[in-house]
Structure 1
C-alpha cells in the first residue's frame, strides 16, 4: 500500500516538473463531509418529527444484532459513570426502539443500549421502580432499517474496535446490505471493507470471540494473524487450541491477542507501540519529500526547496485521491459480492 502511495507521489512530482507555473490563485474547494456524519444528520432530521414516550425499561429487549463482544472492566466503569450522570441530570437523549416483532407490548432497541442498561439498573435499585422510565422514540423498523440506525450510532461514537467493526460488517451483510453500501455506513473505504471480510474469512469466529474486542489492536495485527493462519493449517490448530485453554480467558483481551500471535511467531502492533517508519521519496538522487508512517497516521514532510511541490500537491490532492481509490477498487473488485 505504501509503495502505491509513494509511486503516485513520484509520478506527481514528475508531472509538476513539466507543468507550466500557475500564478493565479486557486479557489479552495469545499471539503467533502463525512458520510457517517451525513447519515447521522439525516437520522436526526427523521427523528425530529417523532414523539418521545416514557417506557418501562423492563419491557425492552436489546437489538438482535450484537455490536459488542464483551463487557470489560473499562466498560463497567463507563456504565457506572453513566448511571451517576443519569441520576444527577436525568436522561436527556432518548433511545430509539421498535415494537417487538414477536412479543406484544414489548420493544426492541435500535440504539441506546448503554442508557437502557443504566436506567434498568437504576430501576432495579430504586424503592419505587414503577416511577423510573426510559425516554424513547418508537418507530416501526425492519431488520435492515434497525441495523442501519444502529450502525449510524456506532459510527458517531467511533469506539468499536477494529475486529468488532469487522463482525458488525458481517451482520450488515446478513440483512442484505451489500459491501459497497457499507462504506458510508462504516465510514471506511471499499478497500477497508474488503480487508474486514478477508480477516473474517480467514479466522474462525469462535477464535475471534475467544480473543474478544482487542481494543488497540488494529488492522495490521489482525491481517498479520490472518496471513499466518492462511499459510499453515497447523497454525490454525495451534491457535484454536490456545484460544480454548483454561488460562486464556483470564487475560485481558489485548493480552489474549498478544499471546496468540506470539505463539504463531509474531508480535502484535498495539496502540501507540508501532515504531515510526521513515521513507524517502526521491526523483533520481533529488529528495522530494520524506514520509513517516506510524499507528497515528501517515505524514509527508517537504524540504524547503520543494515547498512549491507541496503546494501543487495540495491543489491536486482530490484528483490524486480519486485515482488512488479507483486503483484500489480495481484491485479488490474480485473480492466483492455481485
Structure 2
C-alpha cells in the first residue's frame, strides 16, 4: 500500500475507526459506538476531513480490507513502549468497577480490535496512542502485549480523530471536554480546529476558557470528572475564584483535607464550592419590623453596602410609602449630624 493512500485513510481516521470497530466487534469490550443517524456532527468536522461521504465509505472499506488481510500492519507491541495521546480527554472514574470488568473481558476473550498508534514525534522507538486508550491500559495492567495498527497522523488529525470519537460517547463530562479544549489550546491548535474536534461554537469555547483559564488544571484534576456537575456550576465556581484569586489556596487546602477514597467527584466539587461560596442558609436572615402592638410592617435585610426593606402584613405597603416620603427628612438629619 502506498504512503499516500495510507495518509488518505488516516485523514478521516476517527470516523473510519468508529465505523470499523462497530463492524468487527462482537461485544462492548471492543466497539466504539457509532453516532446515530440523527446525531449532530459539526460542519467543521466534516469540512476538516475534506471528503464527500462516498469517499469516506470507500476509505473505510479499504481500511477494513487492510485489517482483515493482515499484511504486517497489525502487530503486537510492548505496552511499555507506548505513551498516551498528548491530548488526554478522560479523568479517572470514581468507580473502577466498569474498567475491571472490561479488563477481565480482554483477559478471557482476547483483544479483538487493535488500538491505533503513531510513532512518537520526539522519542525514537516509542509510540503514542491515537485511539484505544482503555484497551492499551487494560493490556498494560494485565502484562500482555497490545495488538496495534500503526498509522501516520499529524497532531491536528489526531485531535480531530479523538474529537469525532468523543462525539459518539455519552459519558464524557463537560469538564473533561473543557480540559480537552485546554490541552489543544496549550498546544497551539487553532480555535476553528477546536470547534471541529468538539463540535462546538465559539461561545461554548469562550465558556470553557473562562473555566480552565481561572481554575488551574491540577485543581480540576483533583476534583475529578464530576458527572453530575454541569457547565453552570463549573462557571459558578470559576466566577467565585475570579472574584477572589486568594481562594485558590483555600481550595487546595480543602482538597488535601478531604477523604478522597470515600468521596465522589460530585461531592468533592460541591464541598469545594461551598468552601469558597457559602450557601444561602449562611446569609443574614431578615429582621422583622413591627409596631408597638406587634403588628408586622416589614422585613429588613442589611449589609455593609445595602439595606433592603420589604412589605409584610396588611399595613406593609403603606409603611413602605411612609418610609419613602420620610427619606428627604432623614437625609437632612444625617447631614446636620455630620456637620456637628
Band the TM-score falls in, shorter-chain normalisation: 0.5 to 0.7
Distance 1:32 1:121 in 2: 35
Larger radius of gyration: 2
Distance 1:83-1:232 versus aligned 2 partners, 3 A rule: closer
CA distance in 2, matches of 1:103, 1:197: 31
Deviation track 1:77-105 (CA, whole Å, cap 9, x = no partner) reads 22222123324443333221102234444
Report the CA distance between 1:224 and its aligned residue. Answer: 0.8
1:54 match: 75
The answer to whether the 8 A contact 1:96-1:112 is kept is yes
Extract unaligned runs of 5+ from structure 1: 1-29, 268-338
Q: CA RMSD in A?
A: 3.1
Query: What is the CA-CA distance between 1:114 and the residue it aligns to?
Result: 0.3
C-alpha separation in 2, matches of 1:208 and 1:153: 23
The structural deviation recorded for 1:225 is 0.8
In structure 2, the gaps of 5 or more residues are: 1-36, 68-73, 280-340
**C-alpha distance in 2, partners of 1:173/1:45?**
33
1 CA distance for matches of 2:264 and 2:155? 33
C-alpha separation in 1, matches of 2:211 and 2:222:
15
Flag the 1:118–1:240 CA change in 2: closer, same or farther, 3 A.
closer
**Which structure 2 residues correspond to residues 35-74 of structure 1 after superposition, within 5 A?**
35=42, 46=59, 48-50=61-63, 51-52=66-67, 53-58=74-79, 59-70=81-92, 72-74=93-95
Residue 217 of structure 2 corresponds to 205
SS of residue paired to 1:135: strand
2:269 aligns to what?
Answer: 257
Distance in 2 between residues matched to 1:202 and 1:192, nearest whole Å: 16
**CA spacing shift, 1:182–1:104, aligned 2, 3 Å:** closer
1:258 shift after superposition: 0.8
Distance in 2 between the 1:236 and 1:186 partners? 28
- Counterpart among 222, 243, 258 of residue 247 in structure 1: 258
Count of residues in Structure 1 that have an aligned counterpart in Structure 2: 227
* Alpha-carbon spacing, 1:145–1:238, altered in 2? closer, same or farther (3 Å): same
SS in 1 for 2:130: strand
Give the alignment of 1:155-170 within 5 angstroms.
Answer: 155-170=167-182
Q: TM-score with structure 2 length normalisation?
A: 0.58
Deviations 1:107-162 (A, max 9, x none): 2111101011222333x2xxxx5xxx433321122222223222322222232221
| Equivalent residue number for residue 175 of structure 1 | 187
Structure 1 233/32 Cα, relative in aligned 2: closer, same or farther at 3 Å?
closer
Retained in 2: the 8 A contact 1:143–1:175?
Answer: no
- 1:196 corresponds, among 194, 200, 208, to 208
Classify 1:225/1:45 alpha carbon distance in 2 versus 1 (closer, same or farther; 3 Å).
farther
1:116 to 116, 136, 143: 136
Q: Distance in 2 between matches of 1:168 and 1:96?
A: 19
Deviations 1:59-84, CA, capped at 9 Å, x for gaps:
322222222233x352x222222123
Q: Describe the superposition over 1:290-309 as per-residue Cα deviations: whole angstroms up to 9, x where unpaired.
A: xxxxxxxxxxxxxxxxxxxx
The CA distance in 1 between the partners of 2:187 and 2:202, in whole Å, is 19
TM-score by length of 1: 0.58
User: Is 1:222 paired with 2:244?
Assistant: no
Instruction: Give the Å deviation of 1:248.
Output: 5.1
